[in-house]
Chains A and B, each alone.
Chain A
Amino acid sequence: MPGGTPWNSERADEIIRAHQHLAGAALPILHALQHEFGYIERDAVPLIAQALNLSRAEVHGIVSFYHDFRQMAPGRHILKLCRAEACQSMGADALAERARDRLRVGWGETTADGRVTLESVFCLGLCACAPAAMLDGGVFGALDDERLDRLIDEAQR
């Protein structure tokens, strides 16, 4: 969940134990940790390494490889704007600029009040409803300035 609960190493241990039996458990563990805490806390890396018999460097390598895994706590809401070609053809670049201006953040950054994290995404599979965005897992298509503004207002609430 966006935001997530505060870091707690005992809870993290429980989550890791619940998934470590899976073949190739690293990604399921990381997804579950991020779902709980909103990001991958540094202290989770040695716990995962121990559980999976990997080095800490290997776990760090996995965390940092994937765009999804955040290494810092996000804002309370996460707004992802699609910036891939289909959305570009319908004016996504201008919408992206508008979102950055209104929120005064760069990509991957969180507003000063901690309310909204703005992220790029390269394709939500909503290419027939472009330009598209995702707010906390909900999907929105056919965005224009007005609809984007409403989405940003909702995220800032």
Chain B
Amino acid sequence: MLDWPEPFILRAFLAAVGLAVIAAPMGCVVVWRRMSYVGETLAQAGLLGVALGLAARIDLTLAVVVAAVVAAGTLVLIGRQRMVPLDSALGLMHHATLSLGIVAIAVAKGPAIDLMSYLFGDVFAVTGSDLVWIYAGGAGVLSLVLYLWTPLLRLSLHDDLAIAEGVDPRLRAAFDLLLAVVIAIAMKIVGILLVMAFLVVPAVAARPASETPERMAILAAAVAILSVVIGLWLSLSSDIPGGPSIVIAMCAIAAISLLAGSRRQR
């Protein structure tokens, strides 16, 4: 049986639960503002950050945060052009950063890097300093998102109405930056490919059972924490990767919730 709680298991649990709580309200805004693909693009930029961090020999989490934030800033600028739809412009950045990241990692030839560990993450490899990032950085981001909750909600409902009523339109760019920070922090745990699942899937799972936006955020956090517990247990008992197990649990809950919700609507 499991030696509960071994330090690495405890760290994995604390990291994943911390991330779940930070990501839940933010994930709701991502779903409302249809920003899933924006998030995916920022995550790809993180890979470039890993490569640059290795080349510059700086802390990799910091490098990823910087890369994602720069990418978010670029996105804000790209979002202003009206020649092509935003998702096409995002596609450009998405593929550019991914290709550059892979090339840069090949060129950097640092200490043997396991590309897979960045693509998929490893929740059981979380270190003490990762936990500091998650809880210190995450607490900062979470309190900002909660502080900005009402204006973000008003912008999500209708940009022009909110702005006409006095909400600062620059909050949208601020939210992009916060999203970049959360993605960078989360990447170590769940990896580039699955990081947006932590944001989007719990929010989706929470929607059918929510009458108010606040309830949706709280339910999303609850779904995410439950998924962490189920996922880590599955992972440890069946010896399967941790991050994907958590995401599988989330997706199962979301699928059931959506199906139940659509049945109730009829």
A interacts with B? no
Residues of B that sit less than 8 Å from A by CB: none
